[in-house]
Amino acid sequence: MQTELDAREFITSVRSVVRCHWCGRQGKRLTKGLCRHCNDVRKDLLRFEKEVLGVRAESEPHGRLVWLNQELAIARARKKNCIGWGQMLDDILAGHVEPLTLERAWFRPVQKSIANDDRSNHSREAALGSIFTSEQRQVLAYFLWEILGEQASHNRRNRVEGVADREILRQTDEDRAD
């Protein structure tokens, strides 16, 4: 079928694009093979790691160290988030996208973002499996990844602050237990 060939050709062309090593987005690349957003994350992480080491060497670093540890946790979570988006792209381009994965990982976030509702198109995987070939699902997942990945790169800090706060609380609880 012609549409299956077109989908295969499209995915082949997408695989050949030069991309950011972390998030997988295409476009202008900067230092160390990273896009502008990921490079900013890398620079923030290096800066906070350096500052934390400097403040720990001081005699009474407590107040500033608490803030720096929080910022360092956020920077680490941002890096993890960047790399996670790249891994999602690798998974899409590496093989077939299952209908259930397409529904849960891609349709629900788009629906929640647009309609503030993630349940109204529940259980659509049978339709996604019968209407679209595996190559077409792969292309569809790629398009949704592109849209959501662009959004994620612009609000990455907001997306990870909660994760970083939970990590800090977990570390604090572990430190108290020791």
Each residue's pLDDT tens digit, 149-168: 888 777 777 777 777 777 77
| Residues 64 and 55 sit within 8 Å (Cβ to Cβ) | yes
Nearest to 55 by CA among 38, 69, 35, 41: 69
Specify the 3-state DSSP secondary structure of 69: helix
Could you give the CA distance from residue 39 to residue 106 in angstroms, rounded to a whole number?
26
Could you give the CA distance from residue 22 to residue 24 in angstroms, rounded to a whole number?
6
Each residue's pLDDT tens digit, 18-51: 899 999 988 766 678 898 889 999 999 999 999 8
Judge whether residue 127 has pLDDT over 90. Answer: no
Where do the structural domains in the chain lie, given as residue ranges?
A: 19-173
**Per-residue pLDDT band at 123 (split at 50, 70, 90):** low
pTM over 0.85: no
Judge whether residue 1 has pLDDT over 60. Answer: no
How confident is the prediction for the chain on average, in pLDDT?
81
**Per-residue pLDDT band at 83 (split at 50, 70, 90):** very high
Could you give the CA distance from residue 136 to residue 139 in angstroms, rounded to a whole number?
5
| Residues 124 and 159 sit within 8 Å (Cβ to Cβ) | no
